[in-house]
Structures are given as C-alpha cells and as structure tokens.
Amino acid sequence: MNKRGVDCDGKPYNRFFLIAVLLLGAFCVVANHTVITTALPGMMHDLHIDADTGQWLTSGFLLMNGIMIPVTGMLMHRVSSKKLLIAAMYLFLTGTVLASAAPNFSLLLIGRLIQALATGIILPLMQAVLLLIFPKRERGVAMGLDGLVLALARVIAPTSAGWTMDHFNWRILFCSFIPLALIVLLLAQKGMKTIVPLDERRIDKLSLILSTLGFGSLLYGFSSVGRYGWVSAPVITGLAAGTFGVACFVFRECTITSPMLNLRVFRSPLFGFSVFAGGTLMTVMFGAELVLPIYIQTVRGESAFFSGLVMLPGALVMGIMNPVTGLVYDRVGIRRLAIAGMGLLTLSTLPFVFLTMTTKITALAILYAVRFLGIAMVMMPITAAGMNTLPDTWISDGTAVVNMMRTVIGSIGTAVLISVMSDVTERELPEKGMQASDPALAHVLRTDAALNGVNAAFLVAVGFCAVTWALTFFLKKKSG
C-alpha cells in the first residue's frame, strides 16, 4: 500500500497516519464496551441489580449501536469523514463523563447509550474507509486490521477492568477513557480526511422510527424471558410488536426511493450469509464474555482480576490471528476457512455446557482461547468475502447493513443467553425460607442453580454455532 493517498477533495494525505487515527478511535470505543464483561458482577452488586437488569448495559448498548449504524451509512455521504469522527468522539466523551458520575443504574444506562451512539458512528466509518483505501485483493488485510483492534481491546480491557474493580470501582473504568478520547480528538484534527464521497442522501425518519421500535421491542421481549418466562404477556407482546415493526421496516426499505438501508446488498447470497454468521459470532463472543465472569466470580468465588486473566489468552490469540487469517483468506478464499473456524468454535464451546465446581481453570482458559481462534478464522474473513461481492459504490451501504444486522442479532442473541441463564437459575433457586432453616444447604443450592444457568446458556450458544457451522458447507468453493 502506498504511503500517501488522495482524499475526495483531491488533497494528499498520509495513509498510515489516517489508519492509525481510525484504529485508535475504534480501540477506544471497543475497549469501553468490553470493560463491562469483567466489571458487571461488581456493578450488579454495587447498584443492587440482577443479571437481567445488568445485561442491558451490554444488550442495550449493542441495540443502540445497531440502530445508529444505518444512520451512519447516510451521514457518511452527507458529512465529511473528518467532521463525523470528531463529532462521534465528542459524543463518546459526553456519555463517558455521564457514566462515570452516574448516581444510579438509570443514568449509567443513559451514559452507556450515548457511548453506543458514538460507537455506531466510529466502527462503520472505520470499515468503510479501510475498504475504500485498500484494493480489493488486499481487503482481507484491511479486515484483519479491523479485527486486530477488536482483539487488542479484549486483551487489555477485561484484565485491566478486573484489576480496577478489585482495587477501586467501576467509575474509574470510565474515567480512564477520557484522556484517550481527548488524544483521538487532537489527532483527528490533523490526520483524518474525507474518504467517503459525499452526496445529498436524506435520512428517512419513518424508517428510523420503525427500526428503533421493531428491533427495540424484539430485544425487550427476549430480555424479559428471565424475569417473566417465555409465555408471559411482556415477552409475547414484545416479540409480536418487534416482529411487526421489523416487517414494516423491511417493507418500507424495499419500496421507497431513498431507503435508510440499501437492502439490495442482500442480492448477494454470500453477503447475506456473512451477516448471519457475523451475528452468530457476536452472540457467542459477547454472550460468553458476560456469562463466563459470572461463573468465575459468582459460582467459583474468584476475583474480577482473576476472571480477566482467564479470558486474556483468548483475546491474545484473536489479536495475533486476525491479521494472519486475513492474509490466509486473501490466498485461499472463505469456504475452507469458514468450515474449519466454525467447527473449531462449535467443538470448543461444547465443554462449557458441562462446567462444574471443580473444572480446572487452566483447561477453561485453554478452551476459551481455542474458541477465539475459531472466531478469528471466520469473523473478519467472512466480512471481507461478503463485501467483495458488492460494487465499490455500495461499500458504505454494505458496511452499514453488516454492522447493524450483526450488532442487532448479537444484542438479541446475548439477551437470549442471559435470559436462559436467569430463567434456569431462578427456577432452581431454593425456597426463601431455607435460608433461615438451613443456610449451608441454601448456599449450596443457590450455587448449583447459578451453575446450571451458566451451563444452559452455553448450550444455547452451542446451538447457534452448530447451525452456522452446518451452513458453511453450502458455501461455494470459489466463494470470496
């Protein structure tokens, strides 16, 4: 790749500097999201909330992120890339300050949602710019850089969050992102340029309303399972309203002249599969990152820092392998990589269904690392393969669609895993009177209930993985 390029205004710029600014901004917002994984049990304790409520800090974040992404697809064509990145970082700073000072869960959630708006701008902007400044034959490398940022955030954030929770509190976690965001703002003033061509696209307000209500209702329905049960009125109403809203949203996008999401990208079967596979990977990745710390801290009684250390090898493997799998994809295509990666992920997730109080932590860390090797073999290569089937004029549309759909699927899937875990745990908890009559037995039964809930959540994750693995065998040999 040449060191210098030319932006949409015909002005030269330093490509390496531009890429560095984008990757640093993306690292900031992804690490901010990832710190919740090891910090959540402690936050639940401090704020006196249960897992069903606490998971909104992740699933609500993902949903708001997903809702913002298609808007970003429009904004990228109306606002210069530089102004868009700077505005997103200011949004991120606002949400971070609010979250760090929040006196209760409600304001903390609002701060997280504002941070999610910024994330919904920065990640698709980074992908669109990387895909446009790299030639098609090198886009596996571009997505490898994207994946490298995701992995590095997972290397640093959970472990540092665990140490912080053990010695300080969760407010310090959010405060630590303020100086990093200020650095990105300063660098963006000089290094960021307009890469995505501008036009006069408008934002369809009705589409935005329908997508928000539709996907939001689906998430609410799935998230309420643990508290109310699958056949309860809130769950059924949420799922029904969400399905209707999403159907109306899809119909409108297919019938108006200027849709918020260009759904014509789904004419490519490989692109459609990349969206589905990405959603599955987001579900099993984010879901495990929430469930495993609950097992380590709540069931096994270990510290937050310890749970971060257990997950550290997996993040390291993903960080090392993302650029490597990008290069492998550029040479061999997607089919063999996807079959091997999803098979590895499915088989290495299966042992988590059988966790016990005596499961060796070393084996747990190794299996978790193998899971992330499987994710690295599929996540970014399948994204690059899907994007390569689209014309360059649809790149920003494609990044908006793939990021929105896999994020929304991931948020709903994560909510399903947590709801299943909470539902199983709640059903197996001992009667309240047992705490007074036999506290020792009550403690054992509560621990068993939590353990069974964790195992049930991983069983659902295995199901998601197995279905996606089966579909990889239908990929054509020359796909991607």
- Going from N- to C-terminal start, the domains of the chain cover 4-203+260-472, 204-259
pLDDT of residue 153: 80
The more confident residue out of 140 and 97 is 97
pLDDT of residue 294: 86
CA distance 48 to 189: 42
Q: Which residue has the tokens 């490597």?
A: 324
The pLDDT tens digits for 165-186 are 888 888 898 999 999 999 999 9
pLDDT of residue 182: 95
CB 93 within 8 A of CB 109: no
pLDDT of residue 2: 46
Q: Could you give the C-alpha distances from 154 to 30, 35, 336, 402, in angstroms and in order?
A: 8, 8, 26, 21
For the chain, the average pLDDT equals 85
Report the share of the chain in percent with pLDDT over 90.
31
The CATH number of the domain covering residues in 4-203+260-472:
1.20.1250.20
Radius of gyration of the chain (CA): 22
The pLDDT confidence band at residue 229, using thresholds 50, 70 and 90, is confident
pLDDT of residue 75: 83
Alpha helices in 333-432 (DSSP H): 335-349, 361-387, 395-428
Is the torsion defined by CA of 160, 161, 163, 164 positive or negative?
A: positive
The pLDDT tens digits for 36-73 are 877 888 888 888 888 778 878 877 887 787 778 777 87
CB 383 within 8 A of CB 274: yes
The pLDDT confidence band at residue 478, using thresholds 50, 70 and 90, is low
Q: What is the largest CA-CA distance in the chain?
A: 78
Q: In this structure, which long-range contacts are made by residues 251-258, counting pairs with CB atoms below 8 Å and at least 24 apart in sequence?
A: 252/204, 252/206, 252/207, 252/210, 253/207, 256/204, 256/207, 258/201, 258/202, 258/204
Nearest Cα residue to 120 out of 239, 6, 212: 212
CA distance 348 to 223: 26
| pLDDT-wise least confident of 130-144, 287-301, 386-400, 456-470 | 130-144
Mean pLDDT (whole number) for 242-259: 90
CA distance 160 to 163: 5
pLDDT of residue 100: 92
Three-state secondary-structure class, residue 10: coil
pLDDT at 1 over 60: no
CA distance 380 to 394: 18
Confidence (pTM): 0.74
Residue 44 is encoded by which pair of tokens? 């639940």
Mean pLDDT (whole number) for 227-245: 87
Q: Could you give the C-alpha distances from 228 to 244, 291, 455, in angstroms and in order?
A: 22, 20, 20
| pLDDT-wise least confident of 145-149, 266-270, 409-413 | 145-149
